[in-house]
Structures are given as structure tokens and as C-alpha cells.
Amino acid sequence: MEFEIKGNDFQFVEVLLHSGESFKSEPGAMLYMEDGIKMDTKFFDKQEGGFFSKLGHTLKRVITGESLAMTYYINTSDVCKKIAFSAEIPGKIISIEIGKEEFLFQPDAYLCSSPDVDIDIEVTRIKTGLFGGEGFILQKLTGKGIAFVNACGTIEKIELNNETIKVDTGSLVGFSKSIEYDIEIVKGLKNVLFSGEGITLTKLSGTGIVYIQSMPFKRFANKIYNAIAPKLTKTNGESSVDIFDSE
């Protein structure tokens, strides 16, 4: 599979499909495609098993924040064709080879992949679900092929070799399933109240790969809201926002 990730802060990935090759994505992720590529939207992404098995797999995908359907793109021409996919948030797109090991990602991280990559769920422990910043459900990418995930800000790849790293809660993008995922309570009342890190940190231990993001989307959204909120005004009983009003 040939591809190129383009752009800086608002990236997209361009994939070269050979004749007969296909790719799939979340609905709405396609940026452009060349003539000769056929689109096919499927509600049952998983082909094996009976009706209820396929339905269960689809519902799992919805639980992780993905759409009910998946869109497939097949090159029906005799020559190579290009198709591109873009993310909905400002940040980076990274490629992940699925097959040798499985990966767990924050909900809504999946962008697109080769057709044999499956999206499943991983239920976290109660402690990590409550305080880990990612909730009780993580996306588990299984199968075989290449997948593209996106996150806000810059994505850093960290390789652990029987090591431990502590990450700001919410900054974790994903990690190898071989990595142990836990949370650690921040020690010291002053640290809890004034460090700005909250009461917990995400703790990752073992051997494998960890991906972190420099700007969690919730933090980014809060920055925008805090900048706009003071400009909220009431006009004739209706709320309006004037973000261009100069101070």
C-alpha cells in the first residue's frame, strides 16, 4: 500500500490504490478521489459470522465513537488511482501497521484503513475508566493491514523497553496492547491543587509503543470557549457571539 501524509497542522493522507484494491474509512472522511474509484457504504463491516455477530461488531464500533456505517472505496479501473482522507480536528495523522500486535486507541481516533483492519472495543478497569481520561471504552484495532489514526496537536511515538512512563491525563493517544495501562494518584496536596495536572496521571509500563498528543482536543476546545465566552452578549433575549469584536 502506497501512501503519503501531507500538510502540517491540518493534515490529510493520500493513498494510491492499484487496480482492484480497496480502502475504507469513517463516513465523511474522504477529501477527494480520482475518477474510476467506486464508493460503497456498508452497515455490516464484518463479513464473517451470522446476522447477530455482524450487528454486535457494528454496535461495538458505535460505542467507540465511530459511525454506524463504514464507507469502502474500490478502484474499478485498470490503472492506479488516488484517494485522500482528512481529519476533522487540527493535528497530525499517523500510520499504524496492524498484524504483528494489536493497538488500543482513544475513542474516535480511527480515520481510515485497509479493508482487513477491524475496529473492536477494549473495556478498561473501573479505576482507569473513571480517572484515566479516556473513559471505560478504548478502540482496539485488530486484523491485518495499515490503519491511520488522528489526534490533536503533534503526535509523539515513544518506545518502551521494560520501562514506565507517566503521561498527562488526556494526552494519551494509543499504545500497544502489550503495555500495561493504569493510573497513579498525584502525591502531595500542593501538587494536586496547583500543578495543573489534576489528581491523577496515566501510567504506562512494559515493552511496546506509546503515542501521545501535545494538545488534547478537550483542552483545545476549552481554550477556544474561554476566549469566546466573555464576548457572549444578550441581544433582544437571544444569545449571540461576536468573536471579531476588538478589545
Is 243 contained in some domain? Answer: no
Q: Residue 39 corresponds to which cell in the numbers above? A: 464508493
- C-beta separation of 153 from 109 below 8 A: no
Is 120 contained in some domain? Answer: yes
Q: Residue 88 corresponds to which cell in the numbers above? A: 476533522
Q: Which domain holds residue 7?
A: 2-223
- C-beta separation of 208 from 160 below 8 A: yes
pTM confidence score: 0.77
Is 80 contained in some domain? Answer: yes
User: How many domains does the chain fold into?
Assistant: 1
Is 240 contained in some domain? Answer: no
Residue 148 is predicted with a pLDDT of 96
Is 200 contained in some domain? Answer: yes
Is 242 contained in some domain? Answer: no
- C-beta separation of 45 from 24 below 8 A: yes
Is 229 contained in some domain? Answer: no
Beta bridge partners of 28: none
> pLDDT (tens digit, 0 to 9) for every residue of the chain, 247 residues total?
799 999 988 899 999 999 999 999 988 899 999 999 999 988 655 555 555 455 555 555 555 555 667 899 999 999 999 999 998 888 899 999 998 888 999 888 899 999 999 888 877 654 454 554 555 578 889 899 999 999 988 999 999 999 999 998 788 999 999 999 888 766 545 444 444 455 678 889 999 999 999 888 777 777 777 777 776 655 445 555 454 454 4
Q: Residue 71 corresponds to which cell in the numbers above? A: 464507507
- C-beta separation of 29 from 150 below 8 A: no
Cα 63 to Cα 126: distance, rounded to the nearest angstrom: 17
Residue 101: name the closest of 130, 62, 144 by CA. 144
- C-beta separation of 149 from 111 below 8 A: yes
Report DSSP letters for the chain, one per residue: -EEEEE-SSB-EEEEEEPTT-EEEE-TT-EEEE-TTEEEEEES----SS-HHHHHHHHHHHHHTT--SSEEEEEE-SSS-EEEEEE-SSSEEEEEEEESSS-EEE-TT-EEEE-TTEEEEEEEPPHHHHHHSSS-SEEEEEEESEEEEEEEEB-EEEEEEEEEEEEEETT-EEEEETTSEEEEEEPPSHHHHHHSSS-SEEEEEEEEEEEEEESS-HHHHHHHHHHHHGGGEEEETTEEEE-TT---
Is 244 contained in some domain? Answer: no
- CATH number of the domain within which 104 lies: 3.60.160.10
